[in-house]
Amino acid sequence: MSGPRITLSRLKKMAADKERIAVLTAYDAMFARTAELAGVEVLLIGDSLGMVLQGKESTVPVTTAEIAYHTECVARGSQTAFIMADMPFMTYNDTAMACRDAATLMRAGAHMVKLEGTGWLADVIAQLSRQGVPVCAHLGLTPQSVHKFGGYKVQGKTAEAAEIMLKDAYALVDAGADMLLLECVPPDLARRITESVAVPVVGIGAGADTDAQVLVMHDMLGLGERKPAKFVRNFMNGSESIQQAIERYVQAVKDGSFPAAEHCFAAVESGH
């Protein structure tokens, strides 16, 4: 990929034009450049670095300083991709803290920050938006809350839970969120949300009908000893190089062949 830097306006137009967007995590300059040359439009400095780089059991211990360091590395290696950085656990429980830490990440090179939560994030997102910080709101399975959830579990499975998530999505977009990310939610719910909000929606384990797909780079390269999540596909299988594997991931996102049915969870359960 070459040309001008991808902007939020470009991503919104791609979503409006039904042009699927490829998102991938990156944590350093070399992989950032490799990914964007393979066609990745959005690079995410995920707090997943706590697990895949630092060997920790969850994302909870990751700090803003660590995310900022890796954001700087990615920004140095990137020429065209849109850069999104995770705000770590408990760094946005009040607006003052959120603005301070978001400023740190934006100064490090991020073009957008990502926050995990539900409707309670509205005030924080509104303040960040007023300060000129683009925000992606992460709904569904939010890994920073893994201890509260009691593990990595599918969210929004019942009709009642689906309606709550839909209302949360509306509230966060109304508050100023410029993008949504849905993780581990039934495809029919992800489709409803995607069709009913005016911002790009990124999916991971959320079916093929979102505007964009994201995977952790290490997962899509088949690295690690843990059993891969249901929504992961190993693109190194059949590839001759890492760049070819990423190119195949991008192509599969673009043509809609990923995620396939085997990467999706069950539909929303009807309730009484």
Tokens of 169: 């999505």
Catalytic site residue from 19, 183, 247, 262: 183
Please, what is the average pLDDT of the chain? 93
Whether residue 177 lies inside any domain: the answer is: yes
Q: How confident is the model at residue 152 (pLDDT cuts 50, 70, 90)?
A: very low
> For the chain, first and last CA: distance in Å?
50
Burial class (CB in 10 A: 0-12, 13-18, 19+), 179: buried
How far, in Å, CA of 150 to CA of 202, rounded? 24
Those residues whose C-beta lies under 8 Å from the C-beta of residue 120, and which sit 6 or more positions away, are: none
Q: How confident is the model at residue 263 (pLDDT cuts 50, 70, 90)?
A: very high
Whether residue 1 lies inside any domain: the answer is: no
Whether residue 66 lies inside any domain: the answer is: yes
Residue 116 marked ligand-binding = yes
Helix residue ranges per DSSP H, 46-110: 49-52, 64-77, 95-108
Whether residue 130 lies inside any domain: the answer is: yes
Give the tens place of pLDDT for each residue, 43-97: 999 999 999 999 999 999 999 999 999 999 999 999 999 999 999 999 999 999 9
Whether residue 210 lies inside any domain: the answer is: yes
Cα–chain center distance at 10: 17
Residue 129 marked ligand-binding = no
Give the tens place of pLDDT for each residue, 224-238: 877 888 999 999 999
Whether residue 84 lies inside any domain: the answer is: yes
Closest CA to 172 of 204, 139, 221: 139
Number of domains into which the chain is organized: 1
Residue 47 marked ligand-binding = yes
- Amino acid (one-letter) located at 146: V
Whether residue 137 lies inside any domain: the answer is: yes
Residue 86 marked ligand-binding = yes
Task: Give the CATH number of the domain where residue 245 resides.
Answer: 3.20.20.60
Whether residue 155 lies inside any domain: the answer is: yes
Q: Can you give the residue range of the structural domain that contains 224?
A: 8-259
Closest CA to 172 of 206, 133, 121, 127: 121
Helix 95-108 × helix 64-77 angle, to 10° = 30
Give the tens place of pLDDT for each residue, 169-206: 999 999 999 999 999 999 999 999 999 999 999 999 99
SS3 14: helix
Reply yes or no on whether 66 is catalytic: no
Is there a contact between 231 and 253 (Cβ–Cβ < 8 Å)? Answer: no
- pTM for this structure? 0.94
How far, in Å, CA of 50 to CA of 39, rounded? 26
